[in-house]
Amino acid sequence: MKPFDVVGLGYCNIDYLGIAPHYPALDEKVKLLEFTRQGGGVTGSAMAAVARLGGKARYIGKIGDDDFGRFLLAEFQAENVDTGALIVQPSSPTPFSFIVVDQATGKRTILWTPSGMMLYPHEVRREDVITGKVLHVDAHYAEAAMQAALWANEANIPVVMDAGSFRHGSIELMERTDFLIASELFAKESTGSVNPEESVRRLFSGRRKLAAVTLGERGCIYMTSEGMFRQPAFTVDVVDTTGAGDVFHGAFSYGLAQNWEYADIIRFASAVAALKCTKLGGRAGIPTLDETMSFLDAQSQIPR
């Protein structure tokens, strides 16, 4: 029996978020309607989602030994995300973002700072990686992620890739990925096609068991050995879309660890991501399993 449902290797950061009545013009002052500071980052928030849903999650990554790093560590611990494989790098700043959310649409503008930190393959331990039923990766630390994915491949552990931004090493990491979930932009940049159906068809290749392209308010399209399918987006009162993709990926990995049917996993992940959007920030709105099931029950779409 594996001690963790999902092990995630990838990026995390701090988010400063504010809701504005409109995005300011140059040299304009705008009063924020709401403000918060939360943990963010693709894999960091995905593991927070796994834990909020009741799963056992481990996060492998790097933070600095500054106030931001200590804040992130405290948030992981509060969510019961295992940080035994988390590396704290001395004299390094933890990355952070300023995010301005448009009140009318819930869409956001992100200003971010890189930290210069890198997680290297020699810093990742095989015994940490293979402790989960599922390995969840992104390409921020591409070489480390590829090493982890290789170990997972050898141990017959499914690899889920959050393909949000096309980065150096993305193509190589895709080759070791069983479940590829791409943003519309990544799909376009990696396949050269502006058509989501054609993109997902091209992404469903090699060892792939499922490929998906997320389309925001247009839902997502995905392909398995049984064909191509579309999952509509759920209708909610959107406050902020920050982290919706991260949470979708985390919920997908959680559902995969439960051995649900693929269609049910996609539907479940879509619901979790939609509910996240009802609150400001990438993590505050992540629902519990009971909240998600109640939402799906109202939609008559409970996963089996």
Tell me how far apart the alpha carbons of residues 130 and 151 are, in angstroms, rounded to a whole number.
Answer: 7
pLDDT tens, residue by residue, 163-208: 988 888 999 999 999 999 999 999 999 999 999 999 999 999 888 9
Mean predicted lDDT score pLDDT of the chain: 95
How does pLDDT run across 53-101, given as a tens digit for each residue? 999 999 999 999 999 999 999 999 999 999 999 999 998 899 999 999 9
Kindly indicate the confidence band of residue 301, based on its pLDDT and cuts at 50, 70 and 90. low
Q: Averaged over 208-226, what is the pLDDT? A: 96
Residue range(s) defining the domain that contains residue 87: 4-13+41-94+115-298
Number of domains making up the chain = 1
Specify burial of residue 220 (Cβ count, 10 A radius: 0-12, 13-18, 19+).
buried
Q: Which residues sit opposite 159 in a β-bridge? A: 135
pLDDT at site 302 = 53
**Residues 6 or more apart whose Cβ sits within 8 Å of residue 143:** 120, 121, 169
Evaluate whether residue 303 is within a structural domain. no
Residue whose C-alpha is closest to residue 115's, from 161, 69, 58, 70: 69
Count, residues in the chain: 304
Residue 298 has pLDDT above 60, yes or no: yes
Q: What is the pLDDT of residue 303?
A: 53
Whether 102 is covered by a domain: the verdict is no
| Residue 181 in domain | yes
Position 18 in a domain: no
Average pLDDT over residues 255-262: 98
Q: In the sheet that 227-231 helps form, which strands lie side by side, from edge to edge?
A: 57-60, 4-9, 132-137, 159-163, 179-183, 210-214, 220-224, 227-231
Backbone φ, ψ for residue 135 (5° rounding): -105, 130
Asked whether residue 246 carries a pLDDT value surpassing 90, the answer given is: yes
Q: Are 294 and 45 in contact (CB under 8 A)?
A: no
Own/partner long-range contacts of 103-108 (Cβ < 8 Å, ≥24 apart): 103/19, 103/20, 103/21, 103/22, 103/33, 104/22, 105/238, 106/238, 106/239, 106/240, 106/241, 106/277, 107/241, 108/17, 108/240, 108/241, 108/242
Residue 108 lies in a domain: no
Question: Comparing C-alpha atoms, which of 109, 144, 79 is closest to residue 16?
Answer: 109
Question: Would residue 25 count as lying in a domain?
Answer: no
Question: So what's the pLDDT on residue 218?
Answer: 94
Residue type, 268: F
In a domain? residue 32? no
Encoded tokens for 231 = 């999952």
Give residues with Cβ within 8 angstroms of 172, minimum separation 6.
142, 146
Asked, for residue 232, whether it belongs to a domain, the answer is yes
Does the pLDDT of residue 212 top 90, yes or no?
A: yes
User: For residue 292, what is the domain's CATH number?
Assistant: 3.40.1190.20
